[in-house]
Amino acid sequence: MTGSGGKGRRDRAGRVVRPSVEREVDEEFGHHLEMRIRDLVAAGWTRDDAEREARRRFGDVDRLKADCRELGTRRDVEMNRRLWWDEVRQDLGYALRQLRRAPSFALVTVLTLAIAIGANVAVFSVVQGVVLAPLPYPEPDRLSVLWTRYLPPSGFDIEKFVLSGVEALDIREESETLSEVGIYYAGSRALTGDDASAERVRVGFYSADVLPALGVAPLLGRWFTEEETLPEGPDVTILSHGLWTDRFGADPDIVDRSILMNGVPTRVVGVMPRGFSFPSETRAWLPAGLDRSNQGGRASHGYLVVARRAPGVSQADLDAELAVIADRWAAEYEHNVAHFPWSQTLHTETVADAPRVLAVLMSAVGLVLLIACVNIANLLMARGERRHAEVAVRRTLGADRTRITRQLATESLVLAAVAALVGLALAAGSLRAIFALDPEALPRLDQVQMNGTVLAFTVGLTGLTAMLFGILPAYLAGRRSVTTLAGSAARSIGSRRSAGLRQLLVTSEVALSLVVVILAGLVVRSFDALTDTDPRMEPDDLLTFSITLPESAYPEVEEVPYEWSRMLDELRAIPGVTAVSASTNLPFQGTGQWDFQLDDRPPRADGETAWNAGISQVAPDYFETMGIPVLDGRALTREDVRDGPLVSVVSESMASRFWPGQRVIGKRFGYEIEEDSVAWMTIVGLVPDPVTRNLAAEPYPHVYVPHMQSGISTYFVPRTMQVALRMGTSAESVLPAVRSRMEAFDADLPLYEVRTMDEIVSVSLAGPRVTSNLLGAFALIALLLAAVGIYGVISYSVAGRTREIGVRVALGAEGREIARQILAEGARPVVLGVVLGLGAAWFASRLVETLLYGVEPTDPLTFTALPLLLVSVGVIASLLPALRATRVPPTEALRE
Amino acid sequence: MPRSERRLLHGTLDTLILKTLSHGALHGYAIARWIEERTGDAILVEEGSLYPALYRLEKRGLLESDWGLSELERRAKFYRLTERGEEALERDTAEWLRFSAAVTSILAPGR
């Protein structure tokens, strides 16, 4: 009874062939019965009796058979699974051993892939946080924002203009596609009292519908009621979570407490949950005090609208309805012919430019990953040729082709997985570094995090990567093992084919990296053009901050201009300060626009929109302080007093648009103060156009008027101004003195938005800078990978031909001749790649067109210099192996 | 057969099969004979019920089988303990001894 296993039939790989479960059970039961019968017969039973007895003892054969068949089938499934896992474990162990045995190969591969995967993960996590993550409101897809398009006769087309209050109220009443229409605007308030220092915070002024539209419930208390948001309503406020915790120590009894806002006791009615901040960075909310009674004309613009579309209503439905409303306005109100309300989703509004920027970045890192894959595929192919013998041995030992391919695929996966882990760490680190430098580069950057979506992306990308770089070498290895066994003649054909393949890989690598390099080149040149743009002032050594003189502390409007002058005199006395002035809006901060009339032209008729320009009310010495050159006439001075002749300095576009070819000094324009009363300003000076928001923005006509002359109407008197100090020393050393002087002036006046002008300029460049830096980095990586790839291929090809070269040297060939030939061989795929890459880049440059400033998408310099750069990289990468080849001593080469 | 008794028998039969195979590979009939000789028909009421137990143990990876030639010069399936099977046998034996000692100390104290 000593059955040694393994006498059954075997397949080619040497495994025992099992009969089907059905036959197995039949045969096993048959054998059992046969044995029993034999024993019984031996004990003296007759054959018939023995058969009967054997069956009786065995039991219910049919039921047992059925049981065994089912169990057997399940057993086979189980065993196959176990076998599969065993093989995976084996493959994994084998793969790790292989990598340990070739540490430099493993290091190069893992590093290359880690950089490429890390870059992809980093960019994707930004895409995820900024674009893909839903807005933090219930059913965010139903939220829209409303704008109006504004076409003033000055020839500008302002796509995104705020609505007038009356228009917003019209839409709220008439719209059937919108279930809630929230109307709001932004402002600021000074907080005093509560034993805390005075501070100025951004506030939002809300109609009653804003919070219901957004659908966010307060953490404590309640929303504003409809009555509270009407004009002359009670002084009530809702606090942000941040303000509540920072200033009021998260006091749970804050609701119904009274706090001082601009010196006015204001009752807290609610606290919003953590993270709620709409519009962004708002710290508290006040009722908008809005109805038809207190709105100026239909042309008095100043309101933002956020609305929730009724269920099932699309963005297109809303736009169609707005078009109908606009048509009705055009028919009913002559004045509104230039107003075209339109809408977009809140998501589109919030992510702004980010999708376009991120699409470019994502494409670039995608290409970098492809280049990395080509490189690794190359390395694996070269390695695969060296592993000939190993594969052949394993095949003779019974491993079939799929098993070999699977083994190689496992190795690829292991490489990619290790690289992905390193890449994740790289991504997390680099992201934090980049955006810590430029937190304003993109909207919603605080949402960017390594979450489940990012991890899932990483896992998917890793698998895809392993397939991309692993599939070709694995396929070749499978084929090669056959040819190896067939004989060496077939092998040399095989390697000639793989040499061709490798050249193809170099070509594609060069083409891909040229696309990345050209895209990056365009964006970098655009950023250079942007930073080279004249800011039309001197931003260095300027400290700026904002101050508001609230009505509660400065009730006499007529006194306010004098208070500003007094304050500036105080600041002027600080040692180290060379000039001081103030403006209602400094450059790079956006600007309000006022309509005006021209005295040498008839007033605008009804149905024509008014002429307008940006306006700044400025204190004396403004141009000197800001470093703005006066091009003609004079600057505004202390002599331009309240009761003197009304004067103004205008910008170049103002002059060229309204008085082309004429000297503007002495020309007049006027602001309508009341019905039939126009305040005429005489132009006394000409300056360059200010930068309105950023250096790329088109210049817009601008006028400067003395703040002292704002008294012509109480409506004009500025209660908020931005102060600018030109310093001989650093901001840090001047700021304490500024604070103590301001404290002496009025301890309840908070300084806010304290920044140097350099910081303001820098923030305005944050987005383009990050894009340019990232693309530049990706281009460098692409270039480096291409260089490494070309070097690898040429080196490998030279190493394989040492013998041939040796023979030729021995036969008298000159080293220079050989080097030239190897160089030519390296150059061929590079040049082909450059040609293909140029074509691809020509089309790809459309992708970045909208991001470019001052550079054409087909910029000739970029399109000639960078291909040349790539060719030189190719030549240098082939040069090293070529030189090495010429130094091979023939004797050594021939011995090989 | 009541359910609890059957489960007890299942477990016991499994352990006995493992024990049987601890000395080397055997085919089904030999296993049945071995158990029969030592327990009468207390455990193996019908001989056929051995086979579902064998298939189950194989499925759990405690046994593996190969086809070989038996003393009848016929193809027969020979069962063998796997490493996991040996571990299971050790574990079951220890457990059984502990269990039976506990029960014995109650039912027949002093013996």
Min Cα–Cα distance to chain A from B38, Å: 17
A72 chain-B contacts, CB cut-off 8 A: 55
Min Cα–Cα distance to chain B from A41, Å: 14
What are the CA-CA distances from residue A222 to residues A72, A92, A208, B68 (Å)?
A: 68, 60, 11, 84
Partner-chain residue, chosen from A27, A72, A82, that has the shortest CB–CB distance to B61: A82
Residue B10 confidence (pLDDT): 62
Min Cα–Cα distance to chain B from A7, Å: 5
Residue A7 confidence (pLDDT): 39
Query: Number of helices and strands (H, E) in chain B?
Result: 4, 3
Position B5 confidence tier, pLDDT thresholds 50, 70, 90: very low
Helix, strand, coil abundance in chain A, percent, nearest 5: 55, 15, 30
Residue B72 to residue A31, Cβ atoms within 8 A: yes
How far from the centroid of its chain's Cα atoms is residue A643's Cα? 53
SS3 A347: helix
Whole-angstrom Cα distance, residue A462 to residue A56?
Answer: 62
Distance between first and last Cα of chain B: 31
Decide if A761 contacts A532 (C-beta within 8 A). Answer: no
Residue A20 confidence (pLDDT): 84
Whole-angstrom Cα distance, residue A271 to residue A250?
Answer: 10
* Locus of tokens 């019974």: A398
Position A489 confidence tier, pLDDT thresholds 50, 70, 90: very low
Residue A3 to residue B78, Cβ atoms within 8 A: yes
A58 chain-B contacts, CB cut-off 8 A: 46-48
The yes-or-no verdict on residue A684 having pLDDT over 90 is yes
The yes-or-no verdict on residue A335 having pLDDT over 70 is no
Report how many Cβ contacts below 8 Å link chain A to chain B: 111
B61 chain-A contacts, CB cut-off 8 A: 78-79, 82
Whole-angstrom Cα distance, residue A381 to residue A385?
Answer: 6
Strands A677-687 and A668-674: antiparallel
The yes-or-no verdict on residue A492 having pLDDT over 50 is no
Tokens, residue A294: 């207190």
The yes-or-no verdict on residue A6 having pLDDT over 60 is no
Looking at the complex, does the CB of residue A57 fall below 8 Å from at least one CB of chain B?
yes
Position A334 confidence tier, pLDDT thresholds 50, 70, 90: low
Residue A630 confidence (pLDDT): 96
Domain ranges of chain A: 21-96, 152-337, 354-533+766-895, 554-745
B28 chain-A contacts, CB cut-off 8 A: 28, 31-32
Whole-angstrom Cα distance, residue A554 to residue A549?
Answer: 6
Position A372 confidence tier, pLDDT thresholds 50, 70, 90: very high
Decide if A368 contacts A119 (C-beta within 8 A). Answer: yes
Looking at the complex, does the CB of residue A6 fall below 8 Å from at least one CB of chain B?
yes
* Residue of B21, B77, B81, B83 to mutate, interface with A, max A Cβ within 10 Å: B77
Report, as an integer, the average pLDDT of A724-745: 89
Position A1 confidence tier, pLDDT thresholds 50, 70, 90: very low
Residue B75 to residue A27, Cβ atoms within 8 A: yes
Min Cα–Cα distance to chain A from B104, Å: 32
Residue A156 confidence (pLDDT): 61
Looking at the complex, does the CB of residue A273 fall below 8 Å from at least one CB of chain B?
no
Partner-chain residue, chosen from A4, A34, A75, that has the shortest CB–CB distance to B55: A75
Decide if A650 contacts A703 (C-beta within 8 A). Answer: yes
Min Cα–Cα distance to chain B from A510, Å: 54
A822-859: per-residue pLDDT in tens? 888 888 899 999 999 999 999 999 888 988 999 999 99
A632-657: per-residue pLDDT in tens? 999 999 999 988 999 999 999 999 99
A209-260: per-residue pLDDT in tens? 999 999 999 999 999 999 999 888 899 999 999 999 999 999 999 999 999 9
Task: Identify which has the larger pLDDT, A817 or A89.
Answer: A89
Residue A609 confidence (pLDDT): 61
Residue A17 confidence (pLDDT): 53
Min Cα–Cα distance to chain A from B71, Å: 6
Report, as an integer, the average pLDDT of A35-46: 92
Min Cα–Cα distance to chain B from A121, Å: 42
Residue A32 to residue B32, Cβ atoms within 8 A: yes
Q: What is the percentage of chain A residues whose pLDDT exceeds 70? A: 92
Residue A494 confidence (pLDDT): 47
The yes-or-no verdict on residue A608 having pLDDT over 70 is no
Report, as an integer, the average pLDDT of A862-872: 93
* Locus of tokens 């500024």: A738
Nearest CA in chain B to A56: B46
Residue A410 confidence (pLDDT): 87
Whole-angstrom Cα distance, residue A434 to residue A442?
Answer: 12
Residue A67 confidence (pLDDT): 92
Report, as an integer, the average pLDDT of B54-58: 92
Radius of gyration of chain B (CA): 15
Residue A34 to residue B74, Cβ atoms within 8 A: yes
Decide if A642 contacts A709 (C-beta within 8 A). Answer: yes
Residue A5 to residue B66, Cβ atoms within 8 A: yes
* Residue of B29, B43, B46, B79 to mutate, interface with A, max A Cβ within 10 Å: B29
CA max distance for chain A: 143
B20-50: per-residue pLDDT in tens? 999 899 999 999 999 888 887 777 778 888 9
* Locus of tokens 């933090």: A136
The string of DSSP letters for A787-815 reads: HHHHHHHHHHHHHHTHHHHHHHHHTT--H
The yes-or-no verdict on residue A336 having pLDDT over 60 is no
- Of A85-99, A186-200, A312-326, highest mean pLDDT: A312-326
Whole-angstrom Cα distance, residue A504 to residue A104?
Answer: 25
Residue B96 confidence (pLDDT): 87
Min Cα–Cα distance to chain A from B6, Å: 16
- Least confident interval from A23-37, A470-484, A700-714: A470-484
* Residue of A71, A74, A77, A81 to mutate, interface with B, max B Cβ within 10 Å: A71
Residue A74 to residue B59, Cβ atoms within 8 A: yes
Residue A295 confidence (pLDDT): 62
B62-101: per-residue pLDDT in tens? 999 988 888 878 888 999 999 999 999 999 999 888 888 8
Residue A19 confidence (pLDDT): 67
Q: State the average pLDDT for chain A.
A: 86
A82 chain-B contacts, CB cut-off 8 A: 61
Q: Who contacts A266 (Cβ-Cβ below 8 Å, separation ≥6)?
A: A235, A236, A237, A258, A259, A260, A286
A745-800: per-residue pLDDT in tens? 998 888 888 999 999 999 899 889 989 999 999 999 999 999 988 888 888 888 77
Structural domain count, chain B? 1
Min Cα–Cα distance to chain A from B98, Å: 31
The yes-or-no verdict on residue A554 having pLDDT over 70 is yes
Residue A511 confidence (pLDDT): 95
Does residue A139 come out as left (phi exceeding 0), alpha (psi in the -120 to 50 range) or beta?
Answer: left
What are A339's strand-pairing partners? A150
B68 chain-A contacts, CB cut-off 8 A: 3-8
The yes-or-no verdict on residue A31 having pLDDT over 50 is yes
Alpha helices in A175-228 (DSSP H): 210-214
The yes-or-no verdict on residue A570 having pLDDT over 50 is yes
Looking at the complex, does the CB of residue A293 fall below 8 Å from at least one CB of chain B?
no
Decide if A517 contacts A866 (C-beta within 8 A). Answer: yes
Report, as an integer, the average pLDDT of A693-705: 91
Whole domain around residue B64: which residue ranges? 3-107
Which one-letter amino acid corresponds to residue A151? Answer: L
Whole-angstrom Cα distance, residue A607 to residue A585?
Answer: 30
Partner-chain residue, chosen from B26, B48, B76, that has the shortest CB–CB distance to A61: B48
The yes-or-no verdict on residue A329 having pLDDT over 80 is yes
What's the CATH number where B52 sits?
Answer: 1.10.10.10
Looking at the complex, does the CB of residue A86 fall below 8 Å from at least one CB of chain B?
no
SS3 A39: helix
A393-426: per-residue pLDDT in tens? 777 777 777 777 888 888 889 999 999 999 999 9
* Residue of A16, A57, A84 to mutate, interface with B, max B Cβ within 10 Å: A57
Residue A605 confidence (pLDDT): 63
What is the number of alpha carbons within 13 Å of residue A35 lying toward its C-beta? Answer: 24
Residue A339 confidence (pLDDT): 72
